[in-house]
Amino acid sequence: MIKIAVLVSGGGTNLQALIDAQKAGAFPNGKIVLVMASNPKAYALERAKNAGIESVVVSRKSFDDPADYDRAVVETLQSRGIDLVVLAGFLSILGKPVIDAYPERILNIHPSLIPSFCGAGFYGLRVHQAALDYGVKITGATVHLVNEIPDGGRILLQKAVEVLPGDTPELLQKRVMEQAEWKLLPQAVAMLCEQLEQEKGN
Ligand code: GRF
């Protein structure tokens, strides 16, 4: 069984999509066993509790030295035997020690078609504001592997979403979540669980 940790910072709608997909049998050889939040106020923690999933808060602000934060994250994940890490609306930067501990095993969902509107400073509504400011007619979401470059890892899945006249960042975010993020992330988790299960079998 592939043990999955989902890292969150906010409302947790992508976490909820994963919980619902797991219940629907979308990734039978994977199990979400931990939700790790970057702050204690994340509503995603409520979602984890309702789903009976262990949760823990590891806040970047509690550590003066980034190396201590990275060590705490790795220990939190390795103590639960985590195989696959999913960043779902996670806003803290993971340092090299975390990336090295989980090579090609950390997924992130970004609310644009990378390489557009991504990288440092592009998160949440800012991404959709930038898309509207530029006047693109098509945007979407991307699931990619995580490396040390923000939003820089290998792209796994993308899905396009139409920008409509009169869109606000909030309206566009909702459409991108509903039509792209909440579909792509479970799909990508299923792909990686399949791949990791096969690797374990070899
Ligand atoms: C959303 O903007 C999503 O696109 C991005 O993080 C934000 C919050 O997502 N990945 P969630 O509702 O906490 O999953």
Domain spans of the chain, in order of start: 2-110+142-157+184-201
Tens of pLDDT, residue by residue over 25-53, are 999 999 999 999 999 999 999 999 999 99
Atom in ligand 1 nearest the alpha carbon of residue 177 = 4
Nearest CA to ligand 1 atom 11: 12
Work out the pLDDT band at 201, boundaries 50, 70, 90: confident
Average pLDDT score over residue span 6-23? 98
- Say if residue 187's pLDDT is above 80: yes
Out of 47, 105, 110, 128, pick the active-site residue. 110
Cβ–ligand 1 distance for 11 under 6 Å, the answer: yes
One-character DSSP codes across 50-77: HTT--EEE--GGG-SSHHHHHHHHHHHH
Tens of pLDDT, residue by residue over 122-146, are 999 999 999 999 999 999 999 999 9
- Say if residue 76's pLDDT is above 90: yes
Torsion sign (Cα): 151, 154, 155, 156: negative
Relative to beta strand 155-162, strand 138-145 is: antiparallel
Average pLDDT score over residue span 103-124? 96
| SS3 state at 151 | coil
Distance 202 CA to ligand 1 centre (A): 35
Cβ burial 94-104 (10 Å sphere, 16+ → b, else e): bbeebbebbee
> Which CATH fold topology does 2-110+142-157+184-201 show?
Rossmann fold (3.40.50)
Tens of pLDDT, residue by residue over 141-164, are 999 999 988 888 999 999 999 999
Residue 128 annotated as catalytic: no
pLDDT value, residue 6: 98
Percentage of residues in the chain having pLDDT higher than 70? 100
Cβ–ligand 1 distance for 89 under 6 Å, the answer: yes
Atom in ligand 1 nearest the alpha carbon of residue 87 = 10
13 membership: H or E segment, kind and range? helix 13-23
- Contact status, residue 175 vs residue 142, Cβ threshold 8 Å: no
Q: How far, CA to CA in Å, does 18 sit from each of 35, 50, 88, 170, 200? A: 11, 14, 9, 22, 23
pTM of the model: 0.97
